[in-house]
Structure 1
Amino acid sequence: MLNSSNPDIYFENRKDAADKLLETLPLELLCSNETVVIGVSEGGVYFADQIAKATGAQMDILLTEPILAPNNHELAIAMVSETEDLVMHKALIDAFGISEDYVYAEAERKYEEEVLSYVYKYRKGKELASLSGKYVVLADECIETGLTMMVALKSVIGEDAKNIYIATPILDKGVYQNLLSVCDGV
Protein backbone atom coordinates (compact mmCIF):
# COMPACT_ATOMS: atom_id res chain seq x y z
CA MET A 1 0.00 0.00 0.00
CA LEU A 2 1.48 3.33 -1.05
CA ASN A 3 1.56 6.36 1.22
CA SER A 4 -0.55 9.12 -0.39
CA SER A 5 1.80 11.96 0.64
CA ASN A 6 4.90 10.16 -0.71
CA PRO A 7 4.31 7.40 -3.28
CA ASP A 8 7.79 5.93 -2.62
CA ILE A 9 6.92 5.10 1.02
CA TYR A 10 4.70 2.08 1.72
CA PHE A 11 4.52 2.45 5.50
CA GLU A 12 5.14 5.36 7.86
CA ASN A 13 6.96 3.12 10.37
CA ARG A 14 6.96 -0.40 11.82
CA LYS A 15 3.77 0.20 13.78
CA ASP A 16 1.97 1.35 10.63
CA ALA A 17 3.27 -1.75 8.81
CA ALA A 18 2.12 -4.01 11.67
CA ASP A 19 -1.32 -2.36 11.81
CA LYS A 20 -1.82 -2.85 8.07
CA LEU A 21 -0.56 -6.43 8.30
CA LEU A 22 -3.05 -7.18 11.09
CA GLU A 23 -5.87 -5.93 8.84
CA THR A 24 -5.04 -8.69 6.34
CA LEU A 25 -4.82 -11.61 8.77
CA PRO A 26 -7.69 -14.02 9.57
CA LEU A 27 -7.75 -12.80 13.19
CA GLU A 28 -11.03 -14.51 14.08
CA LEU A 29 -9.71 -17.86 12.86
CA LEU A 30 -6.44 -17.43 14.74
CA CYS A 31 -8.22 -16.30 17.93
CA SER A 32 -10.62 -19.25 17.87
CA ASN A 33 -7.88 -21.87 17.48
CA GLU A 34 -4.79 -22.73 19.48
CA THR A 35 -2.22 -20.54 17.74
CA VAL A 36 1.51 -19.99 18.09
CA VAL A 37 3.08 -16.95 16.43
CA ILE A 38 6.75 -17.33 15.58
CA GLY A 39 9.22 -14.59 14.72
CA VAL A 40 11.66 -15.99 12.18
CA SER A 41 14.22 -13.18 12.35
CA GLU A 42 15.25 -10.40 14.68
CA GLY A 43 13.06 -7.95 12.74
CA GLY A 44 10.24 -10.49 12.62
CA VAL A 45 10.00 -10.60 16.43
CA TYR A 46 8.28 -7.19 16.50
CA PHE A 47 5.61 -8.34 14.04
CA ALA A 48 5.20 -11.68 15.84
CA ASP A 49 4.67 -9.83 19.11
CA GLN A 50 2.01 -7.56 17.58
CA ILE A 51 0.17 -10.52 16.03
CA ALA A 52 0.38 -12.55 19.26
CA LYS A 53 -1.07 -9.64 21.26
CA ALA A 54 -3.91 -9.16 18.75
CA THR A 55 -4.83 -12.85 18.78
CA GLY A 56 -4.06 -13.78 22.37
CA ALA A 57 -1.65 -16.38 21.00
CA GLN A 58 1.56 -17.76 22.40
CA MET A 59 4.69 -16.25 20.84
CA ASP A 60 8.10 -17.80 20.23
CA ILE A 61 11.11 -17.35 17.97
CA LEU A 62 12.70 -19.78 15.53
CA LEU A 63 16.44 -19.45 15.57
CA THR A 64 18.29 -19.78 12.27
CA GLU A 65 21.69 -19.05 10.80
CA PRO A 66 22.71 -18.49 7.17
CA ILE A 67 25.39 -20.53 5.42
CA LEU A 68 27.43 -18.09 3.36
CA ALA A 69 29.20 -18.71 0.06
CA PRO A 70 32.91 -19.42 0.60
CA ASN A 71 33.83 -16.90 -2.08
CA ASN A 72 31.34 -14.18 -1.01
CA HIS A 73 30.75 -13.77 2.72
CA GLU A 74 27.67 -11.61 2.15
CA LEU A 75 25.75 -14.15 0.05
CA ALA A 76 23.53 -16.66 1.85
CA ILE A 77 23.40 -19.93 -0.09
CA ALA A 78 21.56 -21.96 2.56
CA MET A 79 19.89 -21.63 5.96
CA VAL A 80 19.91 -23.96 8.99
CA SER A 81 17.36 -23.85 11.81
CA GLU A 82 17.36 -24.88 15.44
CA THR A 83 15.37 -27.98 14.47
CA GLU A 84 18.42 -28.92 12.34
CA ASP A 85 16.47 -28.40 9.13
CA LEU A 86 18.44 -27.14 6.14
CA VAL A 87 17.28 -25.36 3.00
CA MET A 88 19.69 -24.72 0.15
CA HIS A 89 19.51 -22.20 -2.70
CA LYS A 90 20.43 -24.77 -5.35
CA ALA A 91 20.74 -22.27 -8.21
CA LEU A 92 23.33 -20.21 -6.32
CA ILE A 93 25.21 -23.28 -5.14
CA ASP A 94 25.40 -24.58 -8.71
CA ALA A 95 26.24 -21.17 -10.21
CA PHE A 96 29.22 -20.73 -7.89
CA GLY A 97 30.33 -24.36 -8.16
CA ILE A 98 29.99 -24.92 -4.41
CA SER A 99 29.92 -28.54 -3.27
CA GLU A 100 26.97 -29.74 -1.24
CA ASP A 101 29.49 -31.31 1.14
CA TYR A 102 30.66 -27.78 1.97
CA VAL A 103 27.06 -26.70 2.64
CA TYR A 104 26.34 -29.68 4.90
CA ALA A 105 29.61 -29.21 6.82
CA GLU A 106 28.94 -25.48 7.27
CA ALA A 107 25.36 -26.19 8.36
CA GLU A 108 26.61 -28.58 11.03
CA ARG A 109 29.25 -26.09 12.19
CA LYS A 110 26.80 -23.14 12.24
CA TYR A 111 24.25 -25.23 14.11
CA GLU A 112 26.76 -26.27 16.79
CA GLU A 113 28.54 -22.92 17.14
CA GLU A 114 25.81 -20.34 16.47
CA VAL A 115 22.27 -21.71 16.60
CA LEU A 116 22.69 -23.63 19.85
CA SER A 117 24.25 -20.57 21.49
CA TYR A 118 21.17 -18.55 20.43
CA VAL A 119 18.88 -21.19 21.99
CA TYR A 120 20.71 -20.78 25.30
CA LYS A 121 20.89 -16.99 25.02
CA TYR A 122 17.26 -16.35 24.09
CA ARG A 123 15.45 -19.35 25.58
CA LYS A 124 17.79 -20.57 28.32
CA GLY A 125 18.18 -23.87 26.42
CA LYS A 126 14.46 -24.62 26.17
CA GLU A 127 13.07 -26.11 22.98
CA LEU A 128 10.74 -24.34 20.58
CA ALA A 129 7.12 -24.23 21.79
CA SER A 130 5.10 -27.32 20.94
CA LEU A 131 3.45 -26.85 17.55
CA SER A 132 1.73 -30.22 17.23
CA GLY A 133 -1.86 -29.75 16.06
CA LYS A 134 -1.68 -25.95 16.32
CA TYR A 135 -2.15 -23.07 13.96
CA VAL A 136 1.19 -21.38 13.34
CA VAL A 137 1.87 -17.89 12.04
CA LEU A 138 5.42 -17.31 10.81
CA ALA A 139 6.19 -13.59 10.99
CA ASP A 140 9.03 -11.65 9.42
CA GLU A 141 9.64 -7.98 8.60
CA CYS A 142 10.27 -8.74 4.92
CA ILE A 143 10.91 -11.69 2.64
CA GLU A 144 13.38 -11.23 -0.19
CA THR A 145 14.72 -14.61 -1.33
CA GLY A 146 12.50 -16.77 0.87
CA LEU A 147 15.43 -18.78 2.26
CA THR A 148 14.72 -17.98 5.92
CA MET A 149 10.98 -18.52 5.49
CA MET A 150 11.48 -21.81 3.64
CA VAL A 151 13.63 -23.21 6.46
CA ALA A 152 11.01 -21.95 8.94
CA LEU A 153 8.26 -23.70 6.97
CA LYS A 154 10.27 -26.91 6.84
CA SER A 155 10.88 -26.69 10.59
CA VAL A 156 7.23 -26.15 11.61
CA ILE A 157 5.98 -28.81 9.18
CA GLY A 158 8.40 -31.18 10.90
CA GLU A 159 6.92 -30.14 14.25
CA ASP A 160 3.42 -31.25 13.11
CA ALA A 161 1.76 -27.83 12.87
CA LYS A 162 -1.90 -28.16 11.81
CA ASN A 163 -2.08 -24.99 9.67
CA ILE A 164 0.67 -22.57 8.70
CA TYR A 165 0.28 -18.93 7.75
CA ILE A 166 2.98 -16.44 6.78
CA ALA A 167 2.72 -12.80 7.80
CA THR A 168 4.99 -10.08 6.46
CA PRO A 169 4.39 -6.52 5.30
CA ILE A 170 6.95 -6.74 2.46
CA LEU A 171 7.24 -9.70 0.11
CA ASP A 172 8.75 -10.40 -3.30
CA LYS A 173 6.00 -11.35 -5.78
CA GLY A 174 7.86 -14.42 -7.11
CA VAL A 175 8.60 -15.69 -3.62
CA TYR A 176 4.92 -15.15 -2.72
CA GLN A 177 3.83 -17.75 -5.30
CA ASN A 178 6.38 -20.28 -4.02
CA LEU A 179 5.37 -19.80 -0.39
CA LEU A 180 1.66 -19.96 -1.13
CA SER A 181 2.16 -23.41 -2.66
CA VAL A 182 3.43 -24.83 0.65
CA CYS A 183 1.35 -23.13 3.36
CA ASP A 184 -2.26 -22.25 4.16
CA GLY A 185 -2.01 -18.51 3.58
CA VAL A 186 0.40 -15.64 2.97
Structure 2
Amino acid sequence: MKFRNRREAGRMLAQQLGAYKGQDVIVLAIPMGGVPVAYEIALEMRAPLDVVMAKKIGAPFNPEFAIGAVTWNGAVLLDEDSMEKWKIPNEYVGEVSRKLVRDMKEQLDTLRVGLGDFPKLYGRTVIIVDDGIATGNTMIAAVEAIRDQGPADVVIATPVIPKELVTDMELVAPLVFLDAPEDFEAVGQYYEEFEMTSEDAVRGLMLLANSA
Protein backbone atom coordinates (compact mmCIF):
# COMPACT_ATOMS: atom_id res chain seq x y z
CA MET A 1 0.00 0.00 0.00
CA LYS A 2 1.26 3.47 -0.87
CA PHE A 3 -0.25 6.71 0.42
CA ARG A 4 -0.28 9.93 -1.58
CA ASN A 5 0.78 11.93 1.47
CA ARG A 6 0.43 12.04 5.25
CA ARG A 7 -2.95 13.81 5.16
CA GLU A 8 -4.44 11.06 2.99
CA ALA A 9 -2.99 8.41 5.30
CA GLY A 10 -4.55 10.24 8.25
CA ARG A 11 -7.99 10.28 6.67
CA MET A 12 -7.76 6.56 5.94
CA LEU A 13 -6.52 5.80 9.44
CA ALA A 14 -9.30 7.85 11.01
CA GLN A 15 -11.86 5.52 9.44
CA GLN A 16 -10.27 2.60 11.30
CA LEU A 17 -10.62 4.37 14.65
CA GLY A 18 -14.41 4.61 14.65
CA ALA A 19 -14.70 2.52 17.82
CA TYR A 20 -13.24 5.42 19.79
CA LYS A 21 -15.45 8.15 18.37
CA GLY A 22 -17.69 9.70 20.99
CA GLN A 23 -15.29 8.95 23.84
CA ASP A 24 -13.33 11.65 25.64
CA VAL A 25 -10.49 11.45 23.11
CA ILE A 26 -7.33 13.47 22.75
CA VAL A 27 -4.99 12.91 19.82
CA LEU A 28 -1.26 13.24 20.44
CA ALA A 29 1.14 13.32 17.50
CA ILE A 30 4.82 12.47 17.46
CA PRO A 31 6.35 15.41 15.58
CA MET A 32 7.13 16.28 13.05
CA GLY A 33 5.71 13.85 10.49
CA GLY A 34 3.02 12.49 12.77
CA VAL A 35 1.22 15.82 12.99
CA PRO A 36 -0.42 15.90 9.51
CA VAL A 37 -1.62 12.32 10.05
CA ALA A 38 -2.96 13.12 13.51
CA TYR A 39 -4.64 16.31 12.29
CA GLU A 40 -7.03 14.33 10.10
CA ILE A 41 -7.79 11.94 12.96
CA ALA A 42 -8.48 14.83 15.35
CA LEU A 43 -10.90 16.38 12.84
CA GLU A 44 -12.77 13.10 12.38
CA MET A 45 -12.91 12.49 16.13
CA ARG A 46 -13.73 16.14 16.89
CA ALA A 47 -10.94 15.87 19.42
CA PRO A 48 -8.14 18.20 20.51
CA LEU A 49 -4.70 17.75 18.98
CA ASP A 50 -1.38 18.09 20.75
CA VAL A 51 2.12 16.66 20.53
CA VAL A 52 4.11 14.15 22.55
CA MET A 53 7.84 14.00 22.10
CA ALA A 54 10.22 11.06 22.28
CA LYS A 55 13.63 10.73 20.67
CA LYS A 56 15.79 7.70 20.01
CA ILE A 57 19.06 7.33 21.88
CA GLY A 58 21.72 6.48 19.33
CA ALA A 59 24.67 4.20 20.01
CA PRO A 60 28.04 5.91 20.59
CA PHE A 61 29.50 4.20 17.53
CA ASN A 62 26.51 5.01 15.28
CA PRO A 63 23.93 7.69 16.20
CA GLU A 64 21.44 6.15 13.75
CA PHE A 65 21.48 2.80 15.58
CA ALA A 66 18.88 3.06 18.34
CA ILE A 67 19.70 1.60 21.73
CA GLY A 68 16.61 3.11 23.33
CA ALA A 69 14.52 6.25 23.56
CA VAL A 70 13.81 9.12 25.94
CA THR A 71 10.67 11.22 26.31
CA TRP A 72 10.32 14.97 26.86
CA ASN A 73 9.75 14.39 30.59
CA GLY A 74 12.89 12.30 31.03
CA ALA A 75 11.51 8.75 30.93
CA VAL A 76 14.17 6.46 29.43
CA LEU A 77 13.50 3.14 27.71
CA LEU A 78 16.59 1.07 26.85
CA ASP A 79 17.26 -2.00 24.76
CA GLU A 80 19.07 -3.96 27.46
CA ASP A 81 20.36 -6.54 24.98
CA SER A 82 22.09 -3.83 22.94
CA MET A 83 23.41 -2.16 26.08
CA GLU A 84 24.99 -5.43 27.17
CA LYS A 85 26.21 -6.53 23.74
CA TRP A 86 28.02 -3.26 23.03
CA LYS A 87 29.03 -2.58 26.65
CA ILE A 88 27.48 0.89 26.55
CA PRO A 89 28.00 2.75 29.84
CA ASN A 90 25.07 4.25 31.74
CA GLU A 91 27.00 7.53 31.89
CA TYR A 92 26.75 7.80 28.11
CA VAL A 93 22.99 7.20 28.21
CA GLY A 94 22.56 9.80 30.93
CA GLU A 95 24.54 12.45 29.06
CA VAL A 96 22.74 11.89 25.75
CA SER A 97 19.33 11.70 27.44
CA ARG A 98 19.78 15.00 29.26
CA LYS A 99 20.70 16.77 26.03
CA LEU A 100 17.74 15.23 24.17
CA VAL A 101 15.34 16.25 26.95
CA ARG A 102 16.59 19.85 26.82
CA ASP A 103 16.20 19.90 23.04
CA MET A 104 12.70 18.41 23.19
CA LYS A 105 11.48 20.88 25.80
CA GLU A 106 12.75 23.78 23.71
CA GLN A 107 11.07 22.41 20.60
CA LEU A 108 7.81 21.77 22.46
CA ASP A 109 7.74 25.41 23.57
CA THR A 110 8.20 26.44 19.93
CA LEU A 111 5.58 24.06 18.51
CA ARG A 112 2.92 24.74 21.16
CA VAL A 113 2.83 28.54 20.84
CA GLY A 114 -0.72 29.69 21.54
CA LEU A 115 -1.92 26.39 23.02
CA GLY A 116 -1.48 27.09 26.72
CA ASP A 117 -0.76 24.38 29.29
CA PHE A 118 -0.39 20.77 28.23
CA PRO A 119 -3.84 19.14 28.51
CA LYS A 120 -4.79 16.81 31.34
CA LEU A 121 -4.90 13.18 30.22
CA TYR A 122 -6.36 11.52 33.32
CA GLY A 123 -9.38 9.37 32.48
CA ARG A 124 -9.24 10.16 28.74
CA THR A 125 -8.66 8.00 25.68
CA VAL A 126 -5.30 9.03 24.25
CA ILE A 127 -4.52 8.15 20.63
CA ILE A 128 -0.79 8.47 19.89
CA VAL A 129 -0.07 8.92 16.19
CA ASP A 130 3.02 8.75 14.00
CA ASP A 131 3.42 8.64 10.22
CA GLY A 132 5.04 5.21 10.50
CA ILE A 133 6.78 2.94 12.97
CA ALA A 134 10.21 1.58 12.06
CA THR A 135 11.69 0.16 15.27
CA GLY A 136 9.01 0.90 17.85
CA ASN A 137 11.41 2.42 20.40
CA THR A 138 10.10 5.97 20.15
CA MET A 139 6.44 4.91 20.25
CA ILE A 140 6.91 2.57 23.21
CA ALA A 141 8.63 5.32 25.19
CA ALA A 142 5.81 7.74 24.37
CA VAL A 143 3.14 5.22 25.41
CA GLU A 144 4.81 4.54 28.75
CA ALA A 145 5.24 8.25 29.49
CA ILE A 146 1.59 8.97 28.68
CA ARG A 147 0.35 5.97 30.65
CA ASP A 148 1.99 7.41 33.76
CA GLN A 149 -0.49 10.32 33.53
CA GLY A 150 -3.50 8.11 34.18
CA PRO A 151 -5.47 7.95 30.92
CA ALA A 152 -8.38 5.54 30.65
CA ASP A 153 -6.82 4.03 27.53
CA VAL A 154 -3.82 4.55 25.26
CA VAL A 155 -4.07 3.60 21.57
CA ILE A 156 -1.28 3.48 18.99
CA ALA A 157 -2.28 4.59 15.48
CA THR A 158 0.03 4.52 12.46
CA PRO A 159 -0.41 4.06 8.72
CA VAL A 160 2.46 1.59 8.34
CA ILE A 161 4.48 -0.75 10.56
CA PRO A 162 6.76 -3.71 9.79
CA LYS A 163 4.89 -7.00 10.05
CA GLU A 164 7.49 -8.35 12.45
CA LEU A 165 6.67 -5.60 14.98
CA VAL A 166 2.88 -5.96 15.04
CA THR A 167 2.66 -8.57 17.79
CA ASP A 168 5.18 -6.78 20.02
CA MET A 169 3.40 -3.44 19.64
CA GLU A 170 0.02 -5.01 20.37
CA LEU A 171 1.47 -6.09 23.72
CA VAL A 172 2.30 -2.45 24.46
CA ALA A 173 -1.13 -0.95 23.63
CA PRO A 174 -4.08 -1.46 21.27
CA LEU A 175 -2.69 -0.96 17.76
CA VAL A 176 -4.52 0.43 14.72
CA PHE A 177 -2.68 0.40 11.38
CA LEU A 178 -3.32 0.27 7.64
CA ASP A 179 -0.41 -1.76 6.30
CA ALA A 180 2.16 -4.15 7.78
CA PRO A 181 4.54 -5.14 4.96
CA GLU A 182 6.99 -8.01 5.31
CA ASP A 183 9.65 -6.20 3.25
CA PHE A 184 9.62 -2.94 5.24
CA GLU A 185 12.74 -0.81 4.78
CA ALA A 186 11.80 2.77 5.65
CA VAL A 187 8.62 4.73 6.39
CA GLY A 188 9.14 7.04 3.41
CA GLN A 189 8.86 4.25 0.86
CA TYR A 190 5.10 4.03 1.58
CA TYR A 191 4.40 7.66 0.67
CA GLU A 192 4.43 9.29 -2.75
CA GLU A 193 5.05 12.65 -1.05
CA PHE A 194 7.27 12.50 2.03
CA GLU A 195 8.78 15.94 2.41
CA MET A 196 9.84 17.19 5.84
CA THR A 197 7.09 18.77 7.92
CA SER A 198 8.11 22.25 9.03
CA GLU A 199 7.59 23.77 12.46
CA ASP A 200 5.32 26.38 10.88
CA ALA A 201 3.17 23.63 9.37
CA VAL A 202 2.94 21.85 12.71
CA ARG A 203 1.90 25.02 14.55
CA GLY A 204 -0.67 25.83 11.88
CA LEU A 205 -2.28 22.39 11.92
CA MET A 206 -2.43 22.29 15.71
CA LEU A 207 -4.05 25.71 15.94
CA LEU A 208 -6.52 24.76 13.21
CA ALA A 209 -7.47 21.50 14.87
CA ASN A 210 -7.99 23.11 18.26
CA SER A 211 -10.12 25.93 16.90
CA ALA A 212 -12.42 23.66 14.85
So what's the TM-score if we normalise by structure 2?
0.75
Task: Name the count of aligned residue pairs.
Answer: 175
Structure 2 Cα separation of the partners of residues 62 and 102 of structure 1 = 24
> Which runs of 4 or more aligned residues in structure 1 lie more than 4 Å from their structure 2 counterparts after TM superposition?
124-127
Q: Give 3-state SS (helix, strand or coil) of 1:178's partner.
A: helix
CA positional deviation for 1:141: 0.5
Letter in 1 for 2:72: E
Q: 1:6: which partner in 2?
A: none
**What residue is the counterpart of 1:179 in the other structure?**
169
In structure 2, the partner of 1:87 is: 77
Match of 2:107 among 104, 118, 126: 118
**1:36 and 1:136 in contact (8 A); partners too:** yes
Match of 1:146 among 136, 142, 161: 136
- In the alignment, the residues of structure 2 paired with residue 128 and residue 63 of structure 1 have an alpha-carbon distance, to the nearest angstrom, of 12
Q: Could you tell me which of 4, 20, 23 is aligned with 1:12?
A: 4
Does the CA-based 8 Å contact 2:134-2:162 persist in structure 1?
yes
Aligned residue identity for 2:105:
L
- Residue 35 in structure 1 maps to residue 25 in structure 2: yes
| Gaps in structure 2 of 5+ consecutive residues | 177-212
Gaps of 5+ in 1: 3-9
2:99 is the counterpart of 1:73: no
Q: Cα distance, 1:104 vs. partner?
A: 2.3
Deviations 1:54-104 (A, max 9, x none): 010011001223322111122222211112211112233223221223212
Which letter maps to 1:159? Q
Partner SS state of residue 134, structure 2: coil
- 1:98 counterpart (85, 88, 96): 88
Give the Cα separation in 1 of the matches to 2:3 and 2:39.
18
- Provide the residue aligned with 2:124 in structure 1: 134
**Equivalent position SS for 1:137:** strand
Deviates more, 1:152-161 or 1:62-71: 62-71
How much does 1:30 deviate? Answer: 2.5
